[in-house]
Structure 1
C-alpha cells in the first residue's frame, strides 16, 4: 500500500449530521479567513426548500472535522417540469490535511451517496479545482461572463503594488466616467421604477417563466424566498412599471468583502428575452444610481443585453483591461450516463442560461 493510500484510510467520510455546523464554520474561518454565522449556515444549507437533508459529506480524523463538501440543491429545467440538481459549493480541506487524498475521498463519498438522487451536478470551480472535478467525470467549459461597472479600480486591484497605485490614481476618473454614462444613457419617461427592501417572491415567479429551449435553474416562489434570505446581504428589489403594470424586475444585493463594497445584480425577470429594452434600461439606471458610492457593480448572465450594459459603462470581464484581473468563470457539469434534460444536453455549454443567483455566491 502506498503512503498516499495509507494516509487516506486514516480519514472517515460520512454524511452531514446536525452537530457538524459549528465544526464547518470553524473550518470555513480557518480556510477562507471569513467569519460566517450560524444564521448564515442555516439559511444556506438547512433551509434549502428542495431537499430535506443537508447534502454534504464531511471528512473526520480522530473525531475532528477536517474537510467538507456541501452542495446547494436547486431545480433545473430544459423547458419541462424540472429536476433536482446539486451544486457543490464551499469545498474545504484544512491546510494540515491537504495532499492526503481527502478531496478524493469526500468526492467519492458524495457521488456514491447522491448521484442517484440528482439529475445532474453543476458548479463553478476555480482553476485549481478543475483537474480534480475532471478526474471524477465533470465536463468543464466556459461559464457565464460577468460585466463590471468599476468606480474604484484601486479597491478591486488591491492596495499594494503598481496596480494598486494606478488604481487609486484612476478612481476619480472612473467615477466621473460612470456618472457621465448614467447621465447620457437614455431612459423612457413612461417607465417608472419602484424599490422594495423585500423580495416579492410570488410576483417575481409570475414574471419569470424560465428560458425555453435552454438549461436553466427554475426561479419559482420557493427559489426567490430562499435564495435572497441571506442574512449577510442588503437586498433591494427593483420593479419596472409601465401603465401601472410590472413589466420587468431585478434583484440586487450589496455586500462588502475584503474592504470592497460591491452591488451584485443577481436576478432579472423575465429571463426569456420578452422584457423590452426600455424597462431593462430603467432597472439598470436605478441600480447604478443607488450603487454610486460602491466600488463596483457586477452583473452576470444574458437577461440584460450587453449593449444596454455598455451604455451604462459596464465592461465584460473577459475583455481588456478586466481580463487581466477578473477570475474567469468556468462551468462544470456531471450527468449520470450522459442523461439529457427535457431534450437538452447539459454538457452543451451553449445551451445554459444562468444568472448570478444560480451560482454559489453567498
Structure 2
C-alpha cells in the first residue's frame, strides 16, 4: 500500500463521529460530543478545530490534534499549540501517517498567529516528536499521595507500588500521614479556607495578577477560567485561602471518581516560595480532607514546594518506588518552523528555567 492512498487534510464539519470512533478503536474509551466540543470546538484560543486527519476510502484512520493555550511570560502573551490525542488505527500504523499529519500541521500553523509548540508526549510518541524537531526541556515530576493502600488501583493491584504500600499496611500509613500532617499544621495558623463549586473567577484573576511569574505558563485570565475548567469528564472545586479576610492563595482540584484520582490542577501563588507556605499548607489540609475517599491525589509542577508536599505524604514519580511503575511527564518544545528562533523574547524554549507548568497546562484533565 502506498502512502498516496491516504488523504491528509484539516478537520471538516462532519468528522466528529469518525474522530470519536477512532478514539475508541485506539484507546478503548468512548468519548462523547460534549468532551469534543469543550476541547476543540469551544476552545477560545482558536477559530477552527485544530485537528489534522488521515483519511482512506472515506474513513478517518489517523488524527493529529492540538490543544490551544495562551501562555504568558515576560509580561506578554504567546499563542501555543500542544499536540494531543494523537492516534492511528492499528491497521494503518507504521505507514508514515504520524509524520505526514504533523508536517502538514507545522506547515499550516507557520503562517498563522501562533508562537510555538509544547507538549508532554508519552513514551510511544516521544521518539516521533524528537525526529520531527521537538527537543526535551525537562522531566516534570508528578507527586502522588497514596491515600488508601488496600484499595490502590490506578496502577493495577499487582503493581510494585501496590505491593509496597500494601506491605506498609493501612494503619502504619495512616500514622505516617498523621505525623507529617502534624508537622505541617504549624504553618496554617490564622489562615482560613473556603471552598467553591463554581470557580470564583474574579478572586483567582486578582490573585494571579498580583503575582505573575515571568516563566512560560497558562495565562490565568477571565477567558482561561471561564473555559478551562468546563471539561465534562471532571468535577472541579476551587479553594481560596484567606488571612484577615484577604485572599492569600487558592487552588483548583479536578476529581474523577471513575479514575479514582484527585488532581490539584492550579495553585496560587504560582511561583512558590516560603511566603506562600501558610496558604499552601492550609489549602492542602482542606483539600485532602475533602478527597479522603479517593485512593490517589496528584500534583504536578507549579508552585507547591517539594518539601511541603513531602510533609503531606506525597511522593514524586521520579523516585523509587513510583518511578518503577509510572511514566514521569516529559516536557518538550519546538518553534513553529526550523527557521524560527528557539529563543523567544530572551527565553530559551529548551531551558527548564523558562517554564512553570502544572496539571492545568496538560490537555487530559
Give TM-score, length-normalised by structure 1.
0.92
Residues 164 and 308 (structure 1), Cα distance of their counterparts in 2 relative to 1, 3 Å cut:
closer
Q: How many Å separate the matches in 2 of 1:207 and 1:271? A: 9
Corresponding residue for residue 19 of structure 1: 14
> What RMSD, in angstroms, separates the aligned Cα atoms of the two structures?
2.0
Distance 2:22 2:127 in 1: 23
> Which whole-Å deviations, capped at 9, do the CAs of 1:311-336 have from their partners, x for residues lacking one?
11111111111111121211110113
Name the counterpart of 2:153: 155
Deviation at 1:38, TM superposition (A): 0.5
Find the counterpart in structure 1 of residue 129 from structure 2: 133
3-state secondary structure, aligned to 1:53: coil
The Cα shift of 1:111 comes to 0.8
Deviates more, 1:135-144 or 1:45-54: 135-144
Measured in 1, the distance between the counterparts of 2:31 and 2:157 equals 25
Contact 2:205 2:222 in 1 (8 A): yes
Q: Which residue of 2 aligns with 1:250?
A: 251
Contact 1:77 1:342 in 2 (8 A): no
Structure 1 residue aligned with 2:346 = 343
Q: Please state how far the C-alpha of 1:339 moved relative to its aligned partner.
A: 4.3
TM-superposed CA distance for 1:167, in Å, is 4.8
Name the SS for the 1:82 alignment partner: strand
Unpaired runs of 5+ residues, structure 2, are none
- What corresponds to 1:314 in structure 2? 314
CA distance in 1: counterparts of 2:328 and 2:359, whole angstroms = 14
Which residue pairs with 1:221 in the alignment?
A: 222
Distance 1:161 1:214 in 2: 37
Match of 2:78 among 83, 89, 92: 83
What secondary structure is seen at the aligned counterpart in 2 of 1:228? Answer: helix
- Cα separation, 1, equivalents of 2:24 and 2:360: 23
CA distance in 2, matches of 1:28, 1:280: 38
Structure 1 unpaired stretches of 5+: 1-5
TM-score scaled to structure 2, two decimals? Answer: 0.91
Secondary structure, aligned partner of 1:208 = helix
| 2-structure distance, mates of 1:331, 1:319 | 18
Does the Cα contact within 8 Å between 2:194 and 2:241 map onto a contact in 1? Answer: yes
Measure how far apart 1:263 and its partner are: 0.5
Partner of 1:3: none
> Are positions 1:266 and 2:265 aligned together?
yes
Q: Structure 1 residues 69, 247: closer, same or farther in 2, change over 3 A?
A: same
- Bigger mean CA offset, 155-164 vs 82-91: 155-164
Matches within 5 A, 1:227-246: 227-246=228-247
Decide whether the 8 Å contact of 2:75 with 2:214 is kept in 1: no
Deviation at 1:184, TM superposition (A): 4.5
Q: Which residue of 2 aligns with 1:39?
A: 34
Alpha-carbon spacing, 1:94–1:36, altered in 2? closer, same or farther (3 Å): same
In 2: Cα distance, 1:217 partner to 1:243 partner:
29
Shift of the 62–218 alpha-carbon distance from structure 1 to 2, 3 Å rule, reads same
Secondary structure at 2:225's aligned position in 1?
Answer: helix
Q: 2:98 aligns with which of 97, 100, 103?
A: 103
Distance 2:269 2:10 in 1: 37
Q: Which digits, 9 at most, give the CA deviation of each residue in 1:288-317, with x for residues without a partner?
A: 111111111101113111111111111111
Distance 1:189 1:350, change over 3 A: closer
Cα deviation, residue 80, structure 1: 2.4
Going from structure 1 to structure 2, the CA distance change for 1:165 and 1:339 (only over 3 Å counts) comes to: closer
Q: For 2:364, what is the secondary structure of its paired residue?
A: coil
